[in-house]
Copies of this chain bind each other. A is one copy, B any other.
Amino acid sequence: MGRPPLGSTKFPAWVDLPVEWNYLDAFGHVNNTHYIRWFESARVAYLQGCELITWMKPDPVGPILASIECHYRRPLYFPDTVRIGARAEEIGRSRMVLYHMVYSLQQREIVADGRSYVVLFDYHRERPTRIPDEDRQRIEQFEATAVSLEEPTA
C-alpha cells in the first residue's frame, strides 16, 4: 500500500469534532490513534443519516469492521475542529467500503483520509449476510445528497 491519491471531497455524512488538548502526544501533535476513533464516529453518522438503523446493534444482523486504513497527510494541532466525512465507495454482496476524509477547519486543509471495510454479519448463523435491497436503495439515495466537506454550509 503506497499513499493513494485523495478522493473527491463530496460526502453525504460528516461529523464535526473538536480537537481536545489531551489528544496531543509527546511530539506535540494529535496522536494517530484519534483518527481511527473519528472514522468510527463518521461511520456511525453515516448509518444514522442513511437510517440503516438495524445496523446499529449486533442483533440479529449487524456490521463488523473487517479492516481499516488511514493515510496521515498533515499534522494536527490544538485548538482545532475536524470535519470527518464518510461515503460509500463500493457496495458488494455483504461488504461495504466507506471512504473517509478528515478536514481541518483551522488549517482549511485535508489532513488525512482512509477507508473502513465493513461486512454485514448474521450473528445467529455466524457468517456474512447479503446487504438487503432496501438498504442498498437507502444508501444510493443518501449518496445522492453529498456536498463538499470544504463548503461553509456543510
- Could you list which residues of chain A lie within 8 angstroms of chain B, going by C-beta atoms? 1, 3, 15, 17-18, 20-22, 24-28, 31-33, 36-37, 40-41, 44, 48, 57-58, 62, 64-72, 78-79, 115, 117
List the B side residues contacting A72 at CB < 8 Å.
Answer: 64-68
Instruction: List chain B residues, Cβ under 8 A from A40.
Output: 20-22, 31-33
Chain B nearest Cβ from A144, distance in angstroms: 24
Residues from chain B with a CB closer than 8 A to the CB of A1 are 1, 67, 69, 115, 117
Whether A25 lies near B27 (C-beta < 8 A) is no
Partner of A67, one of B58, B62, B67, B70: B70
Q: How far is the CA of A66 from the CA of B36 in the complex (A)?
A: 14
Residues of B within 8 A of A64 (CB): 72
- Chain B nearest CB, measured from A80 CB (Å): 13
On chain B, the residues within 8 Å of A41 by CB distance are 18, 20-22
Which B residues are in CB contact (< 8 Å) with A78? 26
Q: Contact partner of A33 among B26, B28, B37, B79, CB < 8 A?
A: B37
Pairs A–B under 8 Å by Cβ, sample size 11? A1-B1, A3-B66, A18-B41, A20-B41, A20-B44, A21-B26, A22-B25, A22-B33, A27-B57, A27-B62, A48-B79
